[in-house]
């Protein structure tokens, strides 16, 4: 079992409005992310300071911390604190083109790879086309990750990349995910009005391409 958590608590300063409530392909960004997590999680929650008007999913407010820190690491900490399962899936709502196929491939590592290296890992991520790792799309082992995050919050260190460096992780390389449909846009990050307009174009293009895979010609 893997609990799923949509991270929707960003302040959206650059967007100028609540990103979680933006519509893309007829769904809000928060509901898109929830549907994606649903491919591997029976229970999906939303973490962030949003209201029930944005989504009907169970809401969890960001966990208060002594450092009064802000940012995604607080959302991640909140997710792990509230999770009931050993492994936890997290996905930021501003990564709208992450697919259920990618999440499934991450989860399959846990289900089918019992090598010592994988058994010992704390987290599972995927590599972006630019070679970087996106920590807001991944699987985290709750009990081994929480202590590191607590220490970072106590030190007012909010850098997720720093956290990733502290964890033993298994990374899906580009060669392992490049066959996923739409792989070139998987890690598109939506933060500004211009990026939102571009996301709409990408969604329209992907929607236009999808029917050709299964189209039945009428006669």
Question: pLDDT category, 218, cuts 50, 70, 90?
Answer: very low
Share of the chain above pLDDT 70, in %: 87
Query: What pLDDT is recorded for position 18?
Result: 83
Paired residues of 24 in beta bridges = 27
Average pLDDT over residues 166-173: 95
Span of 56-70, 76-90, 97-111, 185-199 with lowest mean pLDDT: 56-70
At residue 202, the pLDDT reads: 96
The encoded tokens of residue 80 equal 């792990």
pLDDT at 219 over 50: no
CB 90 within 8 A of CB 40: no
Give the model's confidence band at 208: pLDDT under 50 very low, under 70 low, under 90 confident, else very high: confident
Identify whether the C-beta of residue 6 lies closer than 8 Å to the C-beta of residue 46: yes
Tokens of 39: 């491919």
Residue with tokens 């898109």: 32
The pLDDT tens digits for 8-64 are 976 667 776 788 899 999 999 999 999 999 999 999 999 987 777 778 898 998 866
pLDDT in tens, 93-119: 999 999 999 999 999 998 887 666 677
Please check whether residue 92 is in contact with residue 106, taking contact to mean a CB–CB distance below 8 angstroms: no
User: Taking CA 142 as the corner, what is the angle to CA 139 and CA 144, rounded to the nearest 5 degrees?
Assistant: 105
Mean residue pLDDT across the chain? 88
Based on DSSP, count helices (H) and strands (E) in the chain, helices before strands.
9, 9
Please tell me the predicted confidence (pLDDT) of residue 65: 57
The alpha helices in the chain, defined as continuous H runs, are 29-37, 72-82, 100-112, 116-119, 142-154, 160-166, 174-177, 193-209, 211-214
What is the reported pTM? 0.89
Domains and CATH numbers, the chain: 2-214 (3.90.550.10)
């Amino acid at each position: 079992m893997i609990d799923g958590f949509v991270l929707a608590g960003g302040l959206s300063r650059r967007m100028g409005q609540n990103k979680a409530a933006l519509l893309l392909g007829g769904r809000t960004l928060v509901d898109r992310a929830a549907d994606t997590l649903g491919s591997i999680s029976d229970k999906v929650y939303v973490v962030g300071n949003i209201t029930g008007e944005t989504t009907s999913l169970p809401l969890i407010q960001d966990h208060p911390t002594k450092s009064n820190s802000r940012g995604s690491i607080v959302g991640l900490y909140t997710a792990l604190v509230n999770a009931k399962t050993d492994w936890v899936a997290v996905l930021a709502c501003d990564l709208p083109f992450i697919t259920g196929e990618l999440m499934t491939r991450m989860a399959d590592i846990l289900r089918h790879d019992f090598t010592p290296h994988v058994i010992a890992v704390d987290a599972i991520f995927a590599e972006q086309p630019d070679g970087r790792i996106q920590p807001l799309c991944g699987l985290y082992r709750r009990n081994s990750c929480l202590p590191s995050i607590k220490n970072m919050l106590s030190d007012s260190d909010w850098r997720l990349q720093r956290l990733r460096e502290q964890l033993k992780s298994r990374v899906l390389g580009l060669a392992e995910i490049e066959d996923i449909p739409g792989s070139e846009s998987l890690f598109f990050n939506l933060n500004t009005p211009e990026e939102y307009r571009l996301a709409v174009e990408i969604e329209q293009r992907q929607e236009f391409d999808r029917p050709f895979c299964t189209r039945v010609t009428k006669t």
